[in-house]
Amino acid sequence: MRTQVAIVGGGPAGLLLSHLLHRQGIDSVVLESRDRAYVEHRQRAGMLEQGTTDVLRESGAGQRLDREGLVHHGLELRFGGAGHRIPLTDLTGRTVTVYAQTEIVKDLVARRAEDGGDVRFEAEVLEVDAAAPSVTYRHEGRVRTLECDYIAGCDGFHGVTRPAVPGLRTFSREYPFAWLGILADVPPSTEELIYAHHERGFALHSLRSPKVSRLYLQVAPDEDIAAWSDARIWDELAARFATGDGWELGQGPITDKAITPMRSFVAEPMRHDRLFLAGDAAHIVPPTGAKGLNLAVSDVTVLARALTERYATGSETLLDAYSATCLRRVWRAEHFSYWMTTLLHVDPAADTFALRLQRSHLDYVTSSQAAATTLAENYVGLPLG
């Protein structure tokens, strides 16, 4: 069997790429190792940059996002028992939108099906050949080969495509903490996201809908989730968000609970021959600042444009520029995520001097318009390169 673009991985990057290519008349096949229910319910990111919502909307996949997405104009940094608002829209003219990754995946899977797209679940890619482009995969108990013009490696951090790039340079950083994330059936206790810095550790109050809250707690990297009863999670969240003005954190049944490791990672270059890496397959950011999903969307937007030019005109100029174009934005997001992470988390090895510096930096970011604007323009996302 043959297609124009073989897409390895049916997460947000792979599904969106397939949809964008279809809009330009380019055929693709998406091979996803997990089943449909699994990819549609895996709890992950939720904050979308304006550039990401623009891409979804312009591609015709934004109807439900427009109805259900919650547009935000600011965020709160909370420390020393008080909140400080960063007015994102006043500072940048742009907004961000809360709309869960699970919902983007559901919308794209449904849309690909309506458009007659070929998305194969439970199809595990075993090997890729970037020179005589083809993908070997196991589906329904049989090993098959898919021949193609190009391969898109959208198979996440643990996929098979990145190891197929010879001479790859990698850059990484581990952090001495992780996030325990919960989803709870309780109306959010805030209209805007709260990023809290506390001596006990970082906490984030996000949301999914007017009735569902999403919250995160800094925990140790080797933390055992079994040690965190629902009551302990709520107590710890309440302690880290506590203010002096009587603000209260609403509590409700926890419906999902998981620990996410935190790491920074970049692989360069993002291309080898006919193989192009996109999203988590090429880079990982710690979640503080919500860049992971947004980077996946910008990579595949750049790749879809380059493939469109190649099929329309024969020119490989944009394909040749793909890796450098993406990496510029990737490194900006890497720096921002690292900066937000180290600004807000408590390093267990930090001394009191380091903590005082952190507090001074938080004071500066919330009192200087120049410093607040730096945070805001990175948070809402820089224009696509």
Nearer to ligand FAD, 83 or 292 (CB): 292
Check binding of 290 to ligand FAD (CB under 6 A): yes
Check binding of 49 to ligand FAD (CB under 6 A): no
Nearer to ligand FAD, 54 or 90 (CB): 54
Contact predicate 211/187, CB 8 Å: yes
Of 195, 216, 272, 345, catalytic:
195
Distance, C-alpha 204 to centroid of its chain: 16
Check binding of 106 to ligand FAD (CB under 6 A): no
Check binding of 188 to ligand FAD (CB under 6 A): no
Instruction: Please choose which of ligand FAD, ligand DHB, none residue 296 contacts, taking the beta carbon within 5 to 8 angstroms, the exact cut-off set by kind.
Output: ligand FAD
Q: Minimum distance from CB of 324 to ligand FAD (Å)?
A: 19
C-alpha triplet 360, 365, 367: angle, nearest 5°: 90
Check binding of 160 to ligand FAD (CB under 6 A): yes
Q: At a CB cut-off of 8 Å and minimum separation 6, what does 318 contact? A: 302, 305, 306, 309, 310, 325
Contact predicate 280/291, CB 8 Å: no
Check binding of 275 to ligand FAD (CB under 6 A): no
Nearer to ligand FAD, 81 or 163 (CB): 163
Q: For residue 188, indicate whether it is catalytic.
A: no
User: Residue number with the shortest CB distance to ligand DHB?
Assistant: 46
Check binding of 139 to ligand FAD (CB under 6 A): no
Q: Minimum distance from CB of 314 to ligand DHB (Å)?
A: 41
Of 19, 22, 72, 345, catalytic:
72
Nearer to ligand FAD, 44 or 363 (CB): 44
Contact predicate 55/19, CB 8 Å: no
Continuous segment of H or E residues that includes residue 28? strand 28-31
Near ligand FAD by CB under 6 A: residue from 65, 182, 233, 296: 296
Q: Minimum distance from CB of 129 to ligand DHB (Å)?
A: 36
Q: Where are the alpha helices (DSSP H) in the chain?
A: 12-23, 36-41, 50-58, 63-68, 88-92, 101-114, 230-241, 292-313, 317-344, 352-367, 369-380
Of 12, 188, 286, 287, catalytic:
287
Q: Minimum distance from CB of 101 to ligand FAD (Å)?
A: 5
Contact predicate 171/265, CB 8 Å: yes
Contact predicate 342/350, CB 8 Å: no
Check binding of 280 to ligand FAD (CB under 6 A): yes
Check binding of 155 to ligand FAD (CB under 6 A): yes
- For residue 256, the cross-strand partners are 183
Does the CA dihedral 102-103-106-111 come out positive or negative? negative
Q: For residue 291, indicate whether it is catalytic.
A: yes
Which strands make up the sheet holding 75-79, listed edge to edge? Answer: 82-86, 75-79, 194-196, 203-209, 212-219, 169-184, 254-268, 283-284
Q: For residue 72, indicate whether it is catalytic.
A: yes
Of 19, 198, 283, 291, catalytic:
291
Cα–Cα dist 125/6, whole Å: 11
Instruction: Please choose which of ligand DHB, ligand FAD, none residue 201 contacts, taking the beta carbon within 5 to 8 angstroms, the exact cut-off set by kind.
Output: none
Contact predicate 203/285, CB 8 Å: no
Near ligand FAD by CB under 6 A: residue from 5, 6, 7, 13: 13
Return phi, psi of residue 60, to 5°.
80, 15
Near ligand FAD by CB under 6 A: residue from 159, 188, 286, 381: 159
Near ligand FAD by CB under 6 A: residue from 68, 124, 129, 230: 124
Check binding of 293 to ligand FAD (CB under 6 A): yes
Contact predicate 62/53, CB 8 Å: yes
CB atoms within 10 A of CB 266: 19
Instruction: Please choose which of ligand DHB, ligand FAD, none residue 214 contacts, taking the beta carbon within 5 to 8 angstroms, the exact cut-off set by kind.
Output: ligand DHB
Of residues 56, 49, 54, the one with CA closest to residue 15:
56
Residues that bind ligand FAD (CB under 6 A): 8-14, 31-34, 39, 44-45, 101, 124-125, 154-156, 159-160, 260, 279-280, 287, 290-293, 296
Could you list the active site residues? 72, 195, 287, 291, 379
